[in-house]
Amino acid sequence: MDFDYNIVWKNCLNIIQDNLGNSQSFKTWFEPIKPIKLENNVLTIQVPSQFFYEWLEEHYIGLLKKTIKKELGINGRLEYSIIMDNSNFGNEPFTIKVPTSNKKATQNQAVNMPLDINNNSSKEIPNPFIIPGLKKIKVNSQLIDHYSFESFVEGDCNRLARSAGYAVAENPGKTAFNPLLIYSSVGLGKTHLAHAIGIQVKNNFPEKTVLYVSTEQFIQQYIESIRNNNHNDFIHFYQMMDVLILDDIQFLAGKEKTQDVFFHIFNYLHQRGKQIIITSDKAPVEMNGMEPRLISRFKWGLSADLQIPNIETRIAILQKRLYNDGIEMPSEVIEYLAYSITNNVRELEGALISLLAQSSLNNKIITLDLARQMIDKFVKNTSREISIDFIQKIVCDYFNISVDKIASKTRKRDVVQARQMAMYFSKKLTKSSLASIGNQCGNKDHATVLHACKTVSNLIDTDKSYKIYVAELEKKFNL
């Protein structure tokens, strides 16, 4: 029976050629196929790659079905054997079964997906690979709905990363931003932005397969696939993505094997114009413990960083959050929060949530006082100090002048007084150097700040009304 499969396949090719003519398609997609066996009415053909198989599935499944039926009868079936294009992952060919009759398809599980890929709608088809004609498998994208572009506040701190992310979502895999690498220190919105891109791709192109995965999860799945002896499945699963989002890639540091696997998945996807989005806590040049060839891949696309949001953006983030949750809060409280917590959006939101919790648990309305008490604890816990920005704001509010006057050249008496007090309190309440205080209070030098501090101390001792100003301000700073 050895020669049977050759004859059967030859007959099949004749039928296919009849349908396609002597076209380029025939040459490209059917000539490279090798028949390898025929057993129990199942013809196995070998194809050069996973991609090749997918292409056949997408474009020629009808024709193949018809052809097999003609040659082998109604119970005839076709199986694919895919030559792995990567020798690192074992040499045995990876077989995917494709019956031309899909009635019993559910029993034939050739591929185990490392993730829960099945939505309720396809419960009875645990492995969609085996259903001929099914173009795309359903992947649980793991995207978090509320991390959308709508809820991501734009600011100077994130403009480049945000617009690159948006461009990628409009045209995944087709922009120069592939891979798109977003980096920043913690709590500045990498994960949020990465999800936003994924969500937007799904909105624009519902048929695209998008996956968000944390690097820790990726590593875990890889280790498990080795343990269960199905690392081919693991790789194939990732090779199916149109958009792959890998969050916190720094966790790959020192994990050579996983880096290696990711390198191959990366190449596979990139070569096929699939979009890769990576986040990291460092720029590529600073990534330690990462293979140079991987780092060089990261540099192919665009690396965009997220910076600490300025005061306006921090206020806007809080306002948007409150608006979305339908909560009202006095603007002085919002400003107080935004001025107090400066360099981590997650902590800023954390403070807001504690404040809301405190007020609802204790049935207190949210006032500046409540915010202060809470922030004091919060700030102490996270060992943060009051910012110079905040000091300037309190002082200027007190003297009823606008904050930008501090940085101006004005030598008007009330402004000079406010500027000196802001310097005095900055020295007293922060760990900033005289030079940096001067820098933030109108670009003055350290001698000017020192002079201001002495002047304020002298006036406290000699001028009664001045002493009252300072005492009242101290109260505002909770001293």
Interface ranges with Mg ion (CB under 5 A) = 190-191
Using CB under 6 A as the binding rule, whether residue 77 contacts ligand ADP is answered as no
Look-up: residue for tokens 């005289």?
434
The distance of closest approach from Cβ of residue 345 to ligand ADP in the complex, given in angstroms and rounded to an integer, is: 4
When binding is defined by CB under 6 A, the residue of 317, 334, 395, 473 that contacts ligand ADP is: 317
Those residues whose C-beta lies under 8 Å from the C-beta of residue 254, and which sit 6 or more positions away, are: 289
The option from Mg ion, ligand ADP, none interacting with 392 (CB < 5 to 8 A, set by class) reads: none
CA 142 to CA 137: how far, in whole Å?
15
Torsion of CA 353, 391, 407, 433, to 10 degrees: -110
Could you tell me which stretch among 8-16, 135-143, 185-193, 332-340 binds ligand ADP (CB under 6 A)? 185-193
The option from Mg ion, ligand ADP, none interacting with 451 (CB < 5 to 8 A, set by class) reads: none
Using CB under 6 A as the binding rule, whether residue 188 contacts ligand ADP is answered as yes
The distance of closest approach from Cβ of residue 248 to Mg ion in the complex, given in angstroms and rounded to an integer, is: 6
Cβ atoms of residues 392 and 406 within 8 Å: yes
State the sign of the Cα–Cα–Cα–Cα dihedral 431, 335, 415, 474.
negative
CA 162 to CA 194: how far, in whole Å?
10
The option from Mg ion, ligand ADP, none interacting with 67 (CB < 5 to 8 A, set by class) reads: none
Three-class DSSP category at 35 = strand
1: nearest Cα among 41, 31, 33, 57:
41
Query: What residue is closest to ligand ADP based on CB?
Result: 189
Rounded to 5 degrees, what angle do the CA atoms 9, 15, 20 make?
A: 115
Using CB under 6 A as the binding rule, whether residue 346 contacts ligand ADP is answered as yes
Q: Which C-beta is closer to ligand ADP: that of 83 or that of 283?
A: 283
Torsion of CA 222, 223, 227, 230, to 10 degrees: 0
User: One symbol per residue from 126 to 155: x for binding ligand ADP (CB under 6 A), - otherwise; what is it?
Assistant: -------------------------xxx--
Could you tell me which stretch among 189-197, 224-232, 257-265, 433-441 binds ligand ADP (CB under 6 A)? 189-197
Using CB under 6 A as the binding rule, whether residue 190 contacts ligand ADP is answered as yes
Site residues, ligand ADP (CB under 6 A): 151-153, 158, 184, 186-192, 317, 345-346, 349
